[in-house]
Amino acid sequence: MAAMFTCCLGCCGDGGSGHIPLKEMPTVQLDTHHMGTDVVIVKSGRRICGTGGCLANAPLHQNKSYFEFKIQSTGVWGIGVATQKVNLNQVPMGRDTNSLVLRHDGSIYHNNEEKNRLPANSIPQEGDIVGITYDHVELNLYLNGKNMHCPASGIRGTVYPVVYVDDSAILDCQFSDFYHTPPQGFEKILFEQQIF
C-alpha cells in the first residue's frame, strides 16, 4: 500500500515534491502590438508619447473596472475605452463607434457625437490624475479623486483602455497601485483567468 501511495505522489507534479509551479500573471500595461505607427511607449509600458493611440493589453472583462492616467505634459490627448477595431493612427479618437474618450478639452466623444463635457473649471491640467470607471454600460470620470458626475455611454463589444497623444502630450497610465482609491465596487483590471 505504501509503495502505491509513493508511486502516486511520484507520478504527479515535478518528480514527487508535490509542488506544482503557478504561472505568473501578466501585468496590465500599454500594448506595443496595438499602437499607432508614430507612438512611443516607455517606462515599462506605462508612458505614451509621440503621435497616435495605444490600447492596454487586457480587455475589460470584469463588471466594474478602474484605471488612471496622469497628465505629465499637456498637448492633444484622449483617454477612455475602445475596441480593437479602433484606428490607432487617427487623432482625435471618438469619431466612430469604436472609441469612447475624454478629450483634452473636457469633451467626451463617441461616434463623432459629444456625449458629455467636464465642467469648465475641471479641465485636466499638467500633473492632474484622471480616473476612469467602466461597468460595461457607462464610463465615468474622476479628476484628482473627485467624481465629475459626467457619465457617457454608447460603445459596445469587448473594450480595452485606450490613450492617444499628439502635440507634445505625455501621459502615464496606472493600472494598479493607484494615486486615488477606486470608487466602491470598482477595482483594477483583471486578466480573464484572474476573474474566476
Per-residue pLDDT tens, the chain, 196 aa: give them: 444 444 444 444 444 455 555 567 789 999 999 999 999 999 999 999 999 999 999 999 999 999 999 999 999 999 999 999 999 999 999 999 999 999 999 999 999 999 999 999 999 999 999 999 999 999 999 999 999 999 999 999 999 999 999 999 999 999 999 999 999 999 999 987 654 4
30-174 — its CATH code? 2.60.120.920
Measured CA to CA, the distance from residue 119 to residue 69 in angstroms comes to 19
Work out the angle at residue 34's Cα, subtended by the Cα atoms of residues 78 and 151, and round it to the nearest 5 degrees.
35
The C-alpha cell 487623432 sits at 91
Half-sphere exposure at residue 88, Cβ-oriented, CA atoms within 13 angstroms:
26
DSSP secondary structure string for all residues of 90-148 = SSS--SSTTEEEEETTSEEEETTEEEEE--GGG---TT-EEEEEE-SSEEEEEETTEE-
**What is the reported pTM?**
0.86
Taking the domains of the chain in order of start, what are their residue ranges? 30-174
Contact indicator for 163, 107 with CB cutoff of 8 Å: no
Contact indicator for 163, 36 with CB cutoff of 8 Å: no
Measured CA to CA, the distance from residue 104 to residue 109 in angstroms comes to 11
